């Protein structure tokens, strides 16, 4: 379970998160929508401890992410993250990309790590690409590799940061299909996304971010189909 | 005047300035001819088929795989041996020009090849002739793209011009070498020489980096 | 004008020429190895921006890049001599080459490091790697590929520039050639053979370097 309490985050004088409260239960899918600069990606970075916070608390399975005594490298094993730019490791093959972290971080044997990597790659439909170098693949394939690479660590939660935004339109579908697959597996996910239709389809909860606060939150029916706030209505009318 | 050695004095200024002038002039000549020949050879290589390209590349490679100092010694010994000795300035200019041409042609070849085919097709479609395309499209774009690399080669030619001293050309370093023998003050003289090269080279290399950054944006 | 070539004398002296070639390789390899170590330090110091050391690094790098190699060698041989530090021709040439290699390679290393996108770091971190692992498995291997060819070129440059040893009486290939030709006055023959030997050494280095790179680097960046 992820509990977020009154989180504030500043970059210099600019306050990008102004008191965020959120709870994500095991097995739930939360989608975060909102305009650019609304702080939605920053929140993901804070959950994964890539960015620190100025005030508040983020608790993942009873561990305070930003407490001094927390071993953040260890904590990140619980949290898989996929980025807008897929960030494949260009010097490693697809299989090595996915097998590296299980081997060096979780200390699995070479065979075990390759086994896990193969499973996850097949799961996302890259079973025929093991020995290919990522730069030879399409953006959609590289993004699925990034998902498999994160899954190979057997995380309890997955964080997705606008993972279809940098893709050509015809490649978006295959990546969203992969997310649907994860949803069926019961993975707990937080998706920052611009795909409103997708968010409505897969989410248990939707949060609309605006200028560092949560304007509206609830089921997809409440937030997307019947938004109460004017800002939410305005945003949706622009993107739908 | 009993001593064999006399200290450095203001009377030596003229002598040093001659060395400075000689370094500047041979660098300018070598960079000038090297650039001219480099553009021509680079263009031929970019235009020609694989065989010609490989052949030319192989010949030019010799200049880049044999130390400049050996090239200078060989050339001046050879023209001496066949009975046509040349002034150190002329012999040095020829070798240094060919040497810089070898590096420059590589720079320009990559510059010309970087001009996209689509741009040439666009130019031709506007009704430009083959030669118009070359003079108005490929040369200006290709030359501009390689300016920082060209400057890098030019700077190394200035520094390498010090080696022409080996065949008796009185450039700056040889001048100071002679002053050192007379005055026995190597440190002061050498530091002066170093400062001279640095003052010429450093601002230009800064400018090259500045242009490179601007072009990268 | 005809010039009669006499090659016999050169072939008789081949063992000495080869000995000279060995010294050439020796001094270039050593100047690279030590130069690389210093270059790493210079690059780190320069990127850290910690005040006094940072200026030392910048000074070193810019002096090495903006003054002639021959000047560096004269400084090491005559200049230091004036301060009472008398280096042998070998050590003088070696120190000059180290000084220059370190300066050029420091910029190569810095450029290679800066060219790795920061996102590679956050992606690795998100997989639970610690900082050491990120550098060991992700950043440095990618950086190494990008600096490999510039490093090879620097090595070739060192081989060619060690020929300046001829001017301070060092016994590397050029200096040895100079000594041998002065005994026989077959200047052309000796220097032609020296030129061919430099050419072969250079080609061998480039060839083995590309063989190694094909073995080491499979994927492309």
Residue in chain A closest to C145 (alpha carbons) equals: A91
CATH class of C24-170: mainly alpha
Yes or no, beta carbons of C120 and A87 under 8 Å apart? yes
Residue in chain B closest to C61 (alpha carbons) equals: B202
Instruction: Name the residue ranges covered by the structural domains of chain C.
Output: 24-170
Q: DSSP secondary structure string, A134-199? A: GGGS-HHHHHHHHHHHHHTT--SEEEEESTTTTS-HHHHHHHHHHHHHHHHHT-EEEEE-S-HHHH
| Nearest-CB residue to A85 (from C119, C124, C220) | C119
- Per-residue pLDDT reduced to its tens digit, C30-85: 999 999 999 999 999 999 887 888 999 999 999 999 999 999 999 999 999 888 89
Q: To the nearest whole angstrom, how far is the Cα of B115 from the nearest Cα of chain C?
A: 23
Q: To the nearest whole angstrom, how far is the Cα of C141 from the nearest Cα of chain A?
A: 7
| Nearest-CB residue to A93 (from C123, C137, C219) | C219
Q: Mark whether A and C touch (3+ CB pairs within 8 Å).
A: yes
The pLDDT, as a whole number, for residue B1 is 44
The pLDDT, as a whole number, for residue C8 is 85
Q: Is residue B199 part of a domain?
A: yes
Yes or no, beta carbons of C166 and B69 under 8 Å apart? yes
Contacts of C125 in chain A (CB under 8 A): 48, 50, 73, 76
| Nearest-CB residue to C66 (from B70, B193, B197) | B197
Q: Is residue B6 part of a domain?
A: no
Residue B151's SS3 state is helix
Yes or no, beta carbons of C130 and A90 under 8 Å apart? no
Domain that holds residue B70: 11-216
| Nearest-CB residue to C128 (from A73, A89, A91) | A73
C165 has a pLDDT exceeding 80:
yes
Chains that touch C (3 or more CB pairs under 8 A): A, B
CA A7, distance to chain mean position in Å, is 18
**Which are the contacts of C49, defined by CB distance < 8 A and separation ≥ 6?**
none
**Which are the contacts of B59, defined by CB distance < 8 A and separation ≥ 6?**
none
| C-alpha span between B207 and B151 (Å, rounded) | 9
- The CA distances from residue A92 to A130, B97, B200, C138, in Å, are 10, 45, 45, 9
C219 has a pLDDT exceeding 80:
no
The pLDDT, as a whole number, for residue A143 is 94
- Give the total number of structural domains in chain B: 1
Yes or no, beta carbons of C71 and B186 under 8 Å apart? no
The pLDDT, as a whole number, for residue A218 is 93
The pLDDT, as a whole number, for residue C220 is 61
Strands A213-218 and A205-210: antiparallel
The pLDDT, as a whole number, for residue A154 is 94
Residue in chain B closest to C206 (alpha carbons) equals: B65
Residue in chain C closest to A134 (alpha carbons) equals: C219
Can you tell me the ipTM of this complex? 0.90
The pLDDT, as a whole number, for residue A3 is 93
| Nearest-CB residue to B70 (from C1, C65, C174) | C174
Which among B112, B107, B121 is positioned nearest to B141, based on CA atoms?
B112
C17 has a pLDDT exceeding 50:
yes
Contacts of C156 in chain B (CB under 8 A): 65
Residues of A with CB under 8 A from a CB of C: 45, 48, 50, 73-74, 76-77, 79-81, 83, 85, 87, 89-93, 100-101, 104-106, 133-135, 146, 149-150, 153
10-residue stretch averages of pLDDT, chain A, 240 residues long: 92 90 93 89 92 92 89 90 92 94 94 95 93 92 95 94 89 91 93 91 92 92 90 87
The pLDDT, as a whole number, for residue B152 is 94
Any idea how long chain A is? Answer: 240
Residue in chain B closest to C197 (alpha carbons) equals: B66
Residue in chain C closest to A73 (alpha carbons) equals: C128
Q: CATH number of the domain that B128 lies in?
A: 1.10.3720.10
Q: To the nearest whole angstrom, how far is the Cα of C124 from the nearest Cα of chain B?
A: 27
Q: Is residue B150 part of a domain?
A: yes
Yes or no, beta carbons of C126 and A81 under 8 Å apart? yes
What is chain B's pLDDT, residue by residue, as a tens digit (217 residues)?
A: 445 677 777 777 888 888 999 999 999 999 999 999 999 999 999 888 889 889 999 999 999 999 999 999 999 999 988 888 889 999 999 999 999 999 999 999 998 888 777 777 888 888 888 888 888 888 888 888 899 999 999 999 999 999 999 998 988 988 988 888 888 888 889 999 999 999 999 999 999 999 988 887 6
Residues C183-209: b if buried by 16+ CB within 10 A, e if exposed: eeebbbbbbbbbbebbbebbeebbeeb
- The CA distances from residue C83 to A49, B178, B187, C92, C193, in Å, are 56, 19, 8, 14, 38
Yes or no, beta carbons of B160 and C68 under 8 Å apart? yes
Strands A14-24 and A2-11: antiparallel
The pLDDT, as a whole number, for residue C1 is 53
What is the H or E stretch that residue A214 is in? strand A213-218
Q: Mark whether B and A touch (3+ CB pairs within 8 Å).
A: no
Predicted TM-score (pTM) of this structure: 0.87
Q: To the nearest whole angstrom, how far is the Cα of A88 from the nearest Cα of chain C?
A: 8
- Both tokens of A230, joined, read 């004017």
- Per-residue pLDDT reduced to its tens digit, C143-159: 999 999 999 999 999 99
To test the contact with chain A by mutation, choose from C144, C218, C219, C220 the residue with the greatest count of A C-beta atoms within 10 A, namely C219
Yes or no, beta carbons of C195 and B74 under 8 Å apart? yes
CB atoms within 10 A of CB C91: 16
CB atoms within 10 A of CB C5: 12
| C-alpha span between A52 and B189 (Å, rounded) | 57
Q: Is residue B68 part of a domain?
A: yes
Q: Is residue B79 part of a domain?
A: yes
Q: Is residue B175 part of a domain?
A: yes
């Amino acid at each position: 379970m992820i509990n977020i309490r009154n989180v504030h985050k500043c970059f210099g004088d600019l306050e990008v998160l102004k008191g965020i409260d959120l709870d994500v239960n095991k097995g739930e899918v939360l989608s975060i929508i909102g305009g650019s600069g609304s702080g939605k990606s920053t929140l993901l970075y804070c959950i994964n401890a890539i960015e620190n916070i100025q005030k508040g608390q983020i608790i993942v399975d009873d561990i305070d992410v930003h407490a001094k005594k927390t071993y953040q490298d260890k904590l990140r094993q619980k949290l898989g993250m996929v980025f807008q730019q897929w960030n494949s490791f260009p010097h490693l093959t697809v299989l090595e990309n996915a097998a590296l972290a299980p081997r060096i971080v979780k200390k699995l044997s070479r065979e075990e790590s390759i086994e896990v990597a193969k499973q996850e790659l097949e799961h996302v439909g890259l079973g025929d690409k093991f020995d290919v170098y990522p730069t030879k693949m399409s953006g959609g394939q590289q993004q699925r590799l990034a998902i498999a690479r994160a899954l190979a660590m057997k995380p309890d939660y997955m964080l997705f940061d606008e993972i279809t935004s940098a893709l050509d339109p015809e490649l978006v579908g295959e990546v969203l299909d992969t997310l649907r697959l994860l949803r069926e597996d019961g993975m707990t996910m937080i998706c920052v996304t611009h795909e409103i239709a997708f968010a409505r389809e897969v989410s248990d909860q939707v949060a609309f971010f605006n200028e560092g606060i949560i304007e509206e939150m609830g089921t997809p029916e409440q937030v997307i189909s019947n938004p109460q706030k004017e800002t939410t209505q305005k945003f949706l009318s622009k993107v739908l | 005047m009993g001593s064999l050695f006399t200290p450095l004095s203001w009377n030596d200024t003229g002598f040093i300035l001659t060395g400075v002038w000689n370094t500047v002039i041979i660098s300018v000549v070598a960079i000038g001819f090297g650039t001219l020949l480099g553009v021509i050879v680079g263009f031929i290589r970019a235009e020609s088929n694989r065989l010609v390209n490989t052949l030319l590349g192989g010949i030019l490679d010799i200049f880049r795989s044999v130390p400049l100092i050996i090239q200078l010694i060989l050339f001046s010994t050879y023209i001496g041996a066949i009975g046509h000795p040349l002034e150190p300035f002329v012999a040095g200019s020829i070798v240094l020009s060919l040497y810089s041409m070898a590096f420059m042609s590589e720079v320009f070849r990559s510059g010309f090849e970087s001009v996209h085919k689509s741009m040439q097709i666009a130019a031709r479609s506007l009704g430009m002739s083959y030669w118009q395309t070359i003079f108005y499209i490929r040369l200006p774009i290709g030359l501009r793209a390689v300016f920082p690399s060209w400057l890098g080669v030019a700077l190394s030619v200035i520094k390498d011009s010090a080696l022409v001293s080996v065949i008796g050309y009185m450039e700056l370093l040889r001048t100071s070498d002679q002053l050192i023998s007379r005055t026995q003050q190597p440190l002061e003289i050498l530091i002066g020489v170093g400062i001279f090269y640095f003052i010429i080279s450093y601002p230009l290399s800064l400018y090259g980096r500045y242009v490179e950054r601007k072009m990268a944006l | 004008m005809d010039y009669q070539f006499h090659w016999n004398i050169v072939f008789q002296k081949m063992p000495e020429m080869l000995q000279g070639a060995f010294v050439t390789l020796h001094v270039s390899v050593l100047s690279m190895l030590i130069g690389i170590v210093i270059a790493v330090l210079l690059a780190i110091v320069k990127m850290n921006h910690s005040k006094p050391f940072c200026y030392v690094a910048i000074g070193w790098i810019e002096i090495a890049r903006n003054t002639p190699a021959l000047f560096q060698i004269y400084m090491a041989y005559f200049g230091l001599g004036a301060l009472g530090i008398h280096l042998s021709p070998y050590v003088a040439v070696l120190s000059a080459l180290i000084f220059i290699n370190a300066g050029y390679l420091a910029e190569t290393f810095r450029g290679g490091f800066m060219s790795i996108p920061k996102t590679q770091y956050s992606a690795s971190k998100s997989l639970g790697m610690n900082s050491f692992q990120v550098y060991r498995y992700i950043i440095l291997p990618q950086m190494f590929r990008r600096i490999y060819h510039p490093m090879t070129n620097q090595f070739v440059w060192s081989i060619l520039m060690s020929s300046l040893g001829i001017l301070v009486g060092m016994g590397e290939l050029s200096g040895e050639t100079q000594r041998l030709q002065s005994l026989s006055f077959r200047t052309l023959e000796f220097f032609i053979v020296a030129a061919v030997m430099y050419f072969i050494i250079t080609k061998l280095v480039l060839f083995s370097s590309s063989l190694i790179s094909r073995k080491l680097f499979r994927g492309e960046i």
